[in-house]
Chain A
Amino acid sequence: MSEWWTYRPEDFLLFSPRVYWRMFELHNAALWPLQVLALAAGLIVLLLVARWPRSSARWLALLLAALWIFVGWSFLWNRYVEINWAAIYVVPAFAVEGVLFLICGPLLNSLAFDRRGLAGGIGYFMLALAIAFPLLAPLQGRGWTSSEVFGIAPDPTAVATLGLLLLARGRPLPWLLPVPVLWCLLSGTTLWTMGEPQAWVLYSALALTAFVLTWNAVLRLSASPGWSPRP
């Protein structure tokens, strides 16, 4: 692209806020009453993490794998791409995230959602925020029908995933973080460009994730045998 520095995010916005939110209305209407099941699944995730953080990890990863693949196919591929041709390039990333969860959970069983303390608390908060995402529609003066539901819409699915990953331990974490982080960045920028205050929810989720990851890194560093504070 020539003179790329002269382009602003709004130059890439192909649709109006009205069309964007009506897209969720149509998506919800097409999938109803799947939203009830999805919300129930969100609450079950909270319960499993709280009560059986290790033994449920395999099932939680399987659920996340299914949701990422489902949202990528049903929302991005079948709906969002109609008004945003660039969404086609994001679909494979959602599929990859799903496959990674399949590998890390059911296949390798290499995750445990048992991190507690500050990181865990923030993880729970973000998970709860994702489940409560539908409230944002009426809070911003839109109807319930345009609500974004965890497991149905990408934003709450990505926020919930980040929350779960903050609660998780395991070597595959660095592989699982990029897609939800990038989606929050992309979607947050879209909302920001449309002048939607909801962008701050996604930016806050990213900021909290960055804070927790930094905090964990500092804790790891301070706990390592060779480390000592400067006198």
Chain B
Amino acid sequence: MRTTRRTFVRASLATATAALLPISLRAQEGAPTRRPIPSTGEAIPIVGLGTWITFNVGGDAALRDECAAVMAAFFAAGGRMIDSSPMYGSSQPVIGYGLQKLGRPSTLFSAEKVWTSSAAAGPGQIEQSRRFWGVPKFDLLQVHNLLAWKEHLKTLFAMKAAGAVRYVGITTSEGRRHDLLEQIMRNEPIDFVQFSYNVVDREAEARLLPLAAERGIAVIVNRPFRQGALTDRLKGKPLPEWAAELGVSSWAQLILKFILAHPAVTVAIPATTRVDHARENLAAAGGPLPDPAMGKRISAYVQAL
């Protein structure tokens, strides 16, 4: 092919564009894919770690060590975001124990919540959570389940302005109060929103996910496995042959890839008590993601089972 000035300019532009793309955004061999937080462009791995139920082990030393092992596997596989809440029983001190045991990994992206009906009690609860984690400050603070959201958002925005937290968000789960969530997403300058979305609970596709993309709000997806009910239901059933195209080896990976394929999703936060599952979840963040046609196929297949 003859090199003309036009082809040379095009090729140069393409090369320059590829070089300018943040290396983190491209799936590297063995590393989880990352996506940018729209409000800053900071890229984070698309699979995080939830702690609902799984990290609530109280003072049980053996189970605390198991949680720390899950965290170690998570960080070793390139994971960053760990999400918790004051509502999750002993999960916060258990995370703090794990972080201390692991030498406080610098890659941690700490996501916490404020969960109290009293606006005045919010700052005290956040400080207590910070002490449990043993971190200087949280990366992300969210209003849990929209509880006293107006008052807490004021507190969180003030904290962000003062540099006491990097990002502010709001959460719901299991499809509750999406109308109000939508209203908040439209009117408040939040960085993150968190809600449930999975292969069978797809209500968010209609309005929340497109709105998040439009408004530049990062999306955290909770309960990707419906608290284990989905993976339990699929246990023992063979993976479809075409799943091999995505390089998945389990239902959990296929379900996660379905979620992660949506371009508006920033992070999914599956929870687990098992080291092998933590690795498996992070592995789902690498390799190819389903295109829209494949996404529909996955959803139809799972719903038909």
Report which A residues bind B (CB closer than 8 A).
2-3, 6, 10-11, 13-16, 19, 22-23, 26, 79, 82-85
Query: What CA separation (Å) do A15 and B227 show in the bound complex?
Result: 12
Q: Check if B99 is an interface residue, CB within 8 A of chain A.
A: no
Q: What would 8 more interface pairs be, CB under 8 Å, given A15-B57, A19-B56, A85-B89?
A: A2-B146, A2-B177, A15-B56, A16-B53, A22-B60, A26-B59, A26-B60, A83-B89
Is chain B's interface secondary structure helix, strand, loop, or mixed overall?
A: loop
Give chain B residues whose Cβ lies under 8 Å from the Cβ of A85: 87, 89
Ranked nearest first, the 3 interchain pairs of A and B with the lowest CB-CB distance are A82-B58, A83-B58, A14-B89
**Are A16 and B54 within 8 A (Cβ)?**
yes
Q: Check if B273 is an interface residue, CB within 8 A of chain A.
A: yes
Query: What CA separation (Å) do A85 and B174 show in the bound complex?
Result: 22
Query: What CA separation (Å) do A16 and B60 show in the bound complex?
Result: 13
Give chain A residues whose Cβ lies under 8 Å from the Cβ of B63: 19, 22
Query: What CA separation (Å) do A82 and B89 show in the bound complex?
Result: 7
Query: What CA separation (Å) do A11 and B53 show in the bound complex?
Result: 11
**Are A15 and B53 within 8 A (Cβ)?**
yes
**Are A23 and B60 within 8 A (Cβ)?**
yes
Closest to B61 in A: A26
Give chain B residues whose Cβ lies under 8 Å from the Cβ of A6: 174, 176
Interface string of B85-104 (1 = CB under 8 A from A): 00111100000000000000
Query: What CA separation (Å) do A84 and B88 show in the bound complex?
Result: 9
Query: What CA separation (Å) do A115 and B38 show in the bound complex?
Result: 73
B212 smallest CB distance to A (angstroms): 22
Query: What CA separation (Å) do A2 and B56 show in the bound complex?
Result: 25
Our pick among B57, B174, B176, B227 for the contact of A19 (Cβ within 8 Å) is B57
**Are B89 and A13 within 8 A (Cβ)?**
no
A23 smallest CB distance to B (angstroms): 6
Using a CB-CB cutoff of 8 Å, which residues 23-67 of chain B contact chain A? Answer: 53-54, 56-60, 62-63
CB-CB under 8 A for A14 and B88, given A19-B63, A23-B60: yes
**Are B56 and A83 within 8 A (Cβ)?**
yes
Give chain B residues whose Cβ lies under 8 Å from the Cβ of A83: 56-58, 89-90
Our pick among B58, B62, B146, B176 for the contact of A79 (Cβ within 8 Å) is B58
A89 smallest CB distance to B (angstroms): 14
B232 smallest CB distance to A (angstroms): 11
Query: What CA separation (Å) do A79 and B90 show in the bound complex?
Result: 11
Closest to A25 in B: B60
**Are B59 and A82 within 8 A (Cβ)?**
yes
Give chain A residues whose Cβ lies under 8 Å from the Cβ of B90: 82-83
